[in-house]
Amino acid sequence: MSVGVFDVAIVGGGTAGCAAALALRKRGMSVVLLEKGQCGAMASGTNFGGVRRQGRDFREMPLATRARAIWDRLPELVGEDCEFRATGHLKLARDAAEMAELERYARDARDHGLELSVVGGNAVRALYPWLGEAVTGASLCPDDGQANPRLVGPAFARAARAAGAEIREFAPVTHARWTGAGFEIDAGGATLRARLLVNVAGFWGGEVAAWFGEPVPIRPLCPNMVVTEPVPYVIDRSIGVCGGNVYVRQVERGNVIFGGGRGWGDTARAISRPRADVARDAMARTLAILPWLRDARIIRTWTGFDGEMPDDIPVIGPSRTTPGLIHAFGFSGHGFQLGPAIGEIVAELVADGRSASPLAPFAIARFAGAPPAPAPR
Ligand SMILES: Cc1cc2nc3c(=O)[nH]c(=O)nc-3n(C[C@H](O)[C@H](O)[C@H](O)COP(=O)(O)OP(=O)(O)OC[C@H]3O[C@@H](n4cnc5c(N)ncnc54)[C@H](O)[C@@H]3O)c2cc1C
C-alpha cells in the first residue's frame, strides 16, 4: 500500500524530531513524523532533566546558547513551561585537581560567551550550607537550569500537530530508500513518500544512516538514574561534579533525582534497565556532597538509551551520500538541552540548505569509512 506524499518525513519523535516538525510547519512545509513508540518516551523522556551549558564541549556552545534562549520561550512556543526553571548549575570540586579544572574551564568558557563564577570551599559552604565537607569549591552558571523531561517532547508534539504536522505514533520505520526523486519510507505497514527525510532517531539514528551507506561507530549510552521520596526543598541549584560521576537536582515537589554511572541496555529489543550496584555507588557519591540525604528513601531507579559517538559530540548535518537526507542524532548524553535548537537547525537545513549555527564539527563525514559499531559495553 502506498499512501501520502509529504515535503518532509521525520524518523523519530524525541524532542529533536518534534521540535523539527513544529519548526518545519512554521515554514509552511507538509510534515509527517513517524515514531515507533510514543513521542518523547525514549531518551527525551527518561533523561535527568539537566538544561546546562556549563561543562559542555565548546564546539557545542553556539548550539547550546541558541537552545538556552528557546527554553525561556517555551510557553509561547508550545503552550507550557515544561517545568523549566533557571535554577543555575553548580559544578563542584572535591579536591585541588578538580578545583584547577573548574578554574581552567571557566577561563576558557569566557571566550565562548559563558560567564561562570568560581568560589573556594569556605565561600561555597557559606553560600550553600547544605553542601557537605567533601566539597572544596564550585563553579556557578547562573542561567543554566532544569526541566521535566516527561513534558517536553509531548508538548512539542502537540504543538506540531496543532500547527498541522501529521504525527504518527506506533509507526516504526522499517526501511527508507532514495528513489532518485525523493524517499520511499516503509512505516507501520504503509509506504509513504517524501521529498526530504530527517533522521532524528536517537541511538537508532546510526541504523537509519546505515540504510544510506553511512555507518557510524555509535554506541548505546544508558545513564543510571535514581529518585528519592519527597524531602524538604533545599537544593535550589542543579548540581554536577568534575568528571561527571554524579549529578543531582531536586524538584519543587521535593523529590531528589540523581544519576551517575551506566545501566544496562539491549538495543535490539529497546529494553534498558538500571543497575543496583551502579545506583549504590552513585548514592555514596551523592551522600559525600549532600550528607543530610542519608535517610531519604529511594522510590524508583531507571535508565534509557542515548547514542554515544566516539568524540562525544553528535552528528548534525546533511548526508554525504544522499541528497535531501538530514541527520541529527548521537547526542552522547547531553542532547536534552539542545533539543529545541535542533528543531530550528534541522528546519534551516531542510528549507534553506544551510544553518545559521556552525555545524562543521558535527558532519557525518568525520566517520567516513568508519567500521560498524562495536558490541555494546
Ligand atoms: C538517562 C539519561 C539521562 C540524560 N540526562 C541528560 C541531561 O540531564 N541533560 C541533557 O541535555 N541530556 C541528557 N540526556 C541525553 C538526552 O536525553 C538525549 O540526548 C536527547 O533526549 C536526544 O533526543 P532525540 O530526540 O535526539 O532522541 P530520542 O529522545 O531518543 O528520540 C528518538 C526517537 O526515535 C524513535 N525511533 C528510533 N528508531 C525509529 C524508527 N526506525 N522508526 C520510528 N521511530 C524511531 C525512538 O523511539 C525515539 O522516540 C540523557 C539521556 C539519558 C538516556
pTM: predicted TM-score of the whole model, two decimal places: 0.96
Q: Report angle CA 65, 157, 89 to the nearest 5 degrees.
A: 30
Residues belonging to the chain: 377
Asked whether 333 lines ligand 1 (CB < 6 A), one says yes
Residue whose CA is closest, atom 2 of ligand 1?
A: 47
pLDDT confidence tier of residue 122, bands split at 50, 70 and 90: confident
Please list the residue range(s) of the chain that carry CATH number 3.50.50.60.
Answer: 2-49+150-217+310-367
Q: Which CATH superfamily is domain 89-142+223-303 in?
A: D-Amino Acid Oxidase, subunit A, domain 2 (3.30.9.10)
Asked whether 147 lines ligand 1 (CB < 6 A), one says no
Asked whether 14 lines ligand 1 (CB < 6 A), one says yes
Secondary structure of residue 178 in the 3-state scheme: strand
- Strands 190-199 and 183-187 turn out to be antiparallel
Report the separation in Å between the CA atom of 305 and the middle of ligand 1, taken as the mean of its atom positions.
7
Asked whether 317 lines ligand 1 (CB < 6 A), one says no
**Residues with Cβ < 8 Å from 150, sequence gap 6 or more?**
40, 45
Q: Number of helices (H) and strands (E) in the chain: give both, helices first.
A: 10, 22
Q: 136-159 pLDDT, tens per residue? A: 999 999 999 999 999 999 999 999
Joined grid coordinates for residue 192: 509513504
Asked whether 47 lines ligand 1 (CB < 6 A), one says yes
Please list the residue range(s) of the chain that carry CATH number 3.30.9.10.
Answer: 89-142+223-303
Q: 204-237 pLDDT, tens per residue? A: 999 999 999 999 999 999 999 999 999 999 999 9
Question: How high is the pLDDT of residue 2?
Answer: 44
Single-letter amino acid, residue 152: V
Residue whose CA is closest, atom 31 of ligand 1?
A: 14
Long-range contacts of 98-106 (CB under 8 A, 24+ apart): 98/136, 98/137, 98/241, 98/242, 98/243, 99/136, 99/137, 101/242, 102/137, 102/138, 102/139, 102/242, 103/139, 105/54, 105/55, 105/139, 106/139
Asked whether 124 lines ligand 1 (CB < 6 A), one says no
DSSP conformation class of 371:
P
pLDDT confidence tier of residue 369, bands split at 50, 70 and 90: confident
Q: Is the pLDDT of residue 121 over 90?
A: no
Q: 55-104 pLDDT, tens per residue? A: 999 999 999 999 999 999 999 999 999 999 999 999 999 999 999 999 99
Calpha distance 335→344 (Å, rounded): 14
- Strands 137-141 and 89-93 turn out to be antiparallel
CATH placement of domain 2-49+150-217+310-367: 3.50.50.60
